[in-house]
Structure 1
């Protein structure tokens, strides 16, 4: 007596009985459609293999990080230009200050020279005047040696001038360390402020 077993139909053609089950999708197929299903899986495997090979070629071509390197180069050039602008402004301001200080010192020296010449010519001076002139000359000498109103101010120290930013994503820790980017904050205008 033959046993009546209920056969599952093929998922592609319900009129035929399924004779093989796919271990992945668990679907039943007839012989013809099982072969087609396996060919489809083989084609999908080829596409995935090609995608892998393409990614590997891109990695080997060193394309990873090229955009970031371009950004770093642009940042570097912009930062250098900004630093040069600020330094040039500081030089101009310092030259202006030095010229003003020289003018004031020259005027003070001329005033003392006129007083000395006049007092010497009229023989009209005492220890008091000599001490005053000597004190004035010493004060002017100190001003010439060390101008007191020039200072370099570095700006707000609570925010660093250079920040370290890490690239986030699917990268490993060693790749993150490799992709650290230094970004100069725009605080350079305060860096060389002359008071």
Structure 2
């Protein structure tokens, strides 16, 4: 009888402890471990995406900077030698505008997530950088959204839009 009473007291003590400290239950600990593992996976995916994006940004900015350096040297040489004509100025203005557009192209990096319906949280991926944009039109066409969209006007005339990048993602 004494042993039974001791066992009953220990059992009652265990119930009291579980009520006073519900987060110490082994199943709650399992959920906490799952939570931490999930958070760690999200942090790793976040780090991977950021590293990839920073690499793309650095590479793109370096290319634009190199092009700008070459442009500045060419412009300085022509200015120092006083050897340029109006058509050169028009060309240089267009090249400078192109460099500015090229720098902004990096804003067209697209992201996607895996659409795995069974996953609790989707992983983020960087699709890539698009250098495609429209730059010239003939007839009734308007370019909007930083050169990404062309809209034909109200007329039924044929119209043309020229772009750069040759639709690298084949979306047009």
Distance 2:72 2:54 in 1: 26
Match in the other structure for 2:29? 70
SS at match of 1:147: helix
> Using the alignment, how far apart are the partners of 1:85 and 1:194 within structure 2?
18
Higher Cα radius of gyration: 1
Distance in 2 of aligned mates of 1:148 and 1:160: 31
- When you count strand as a share of all residues, which structure comes out higher? 2
TM-score by length of 2: 0.54
Kept in 1: contact 2:109–2:126 (CA 8 A): no
Partner of 1:175: none
The alpha carbon displacement at 1:67 in A equals 3.8
Q: Does the Cα contact within 8 Å between 1:154 and 1:192 map onto a contact in 2?
A: yes
Partner of 1:84: 43
TM-score normalized with structure 1 length: 0.49
Unaligned segments of structure 2, at least 5 residues? 1-9, 129-172
Higher relative contact order (CA 8 A, sep 6+): 1
| Partner residue, 2:140 | none
1:6-85 correspondence runs (5 A): 62=18, 66-85=25-44
Aligned-residue Cα RMSD (Å) equals 3.3
Deviations 1:8-54 (A, max 9, x none): xxxxxxxxxxxxxxxxxxxxxxxxxxxxxxxxxxxxxxxxxxxxxx9
2:90 is aligned to 131
> CA–CA distance in 2 between the matches of 1:194 and 1:87?
15
CA contact 1:93–1:194 (8 Å) conserved in 2: no
1:193 aligns with 2:126: yes
CA contact (8 A) 1:90 1:194 kept: no
Partner of 1:113: 72
Q: Give unpaired runs (5+ residues) of structure 1.
A: 1-53, 163-183
Q: 2:134: which partner in 1?
A: none
Aligned residues: 120
